[in-house]
Amino acid sequence: MEAVMETGSKIGVAPACLALGLPRATYYRRLRPKPVDATAPASDGDRPSRPQPRALPPEERQQVLAVLNEPRFMDQAPPQVHATLLDEGRWLCSLRTMYRILDENGQVRERRD
């Protein structure tokens, strides 16, 4: 890092990083000061995720979980449950959302006892 700083002023940062095999992004990332506040994000990739505006409300998520745990669906995988509900003319949520709800409740596994 110090070598890039020393030679960077003479030949430029890009050629110095190239000669030393150091990515320029790493060089510039290390120049940035660390955030003082513990709750502040350290970098762009560490930002807390925002709630999705189209996510199902908790009440509807509970209804979907209740349907998935009905006795007639206990031995079926989510794609089978989804297809059966569509055949009955019921749309609760997407298949992926069913998997998310089951995962949140620790039920993404073999569901039979």
Domain boundaries defined on the chain: 1-33, 58-104
- Give this prediction's pTM: 0.55
pLDDT digits (tens, 9 = 90+) for 6-32: 887 889 889 988 988 989 998 888 888
Helix (H) / strand (E) element for 62: namely helix 58-68
CA atoms within 13 A on the CB side of 92: 25
pLDDT digits (tens, 9 = 90+) for 30-89: 888 777 665 555 555 667 788 888 999 999 999 999 999 999 998 899 999 999 999 999
* pLDDT attached to residue 105: 93
* pLDDT attached to residue 92: 94
- Torsional sign, CA 17, 19, 20, 21: positive
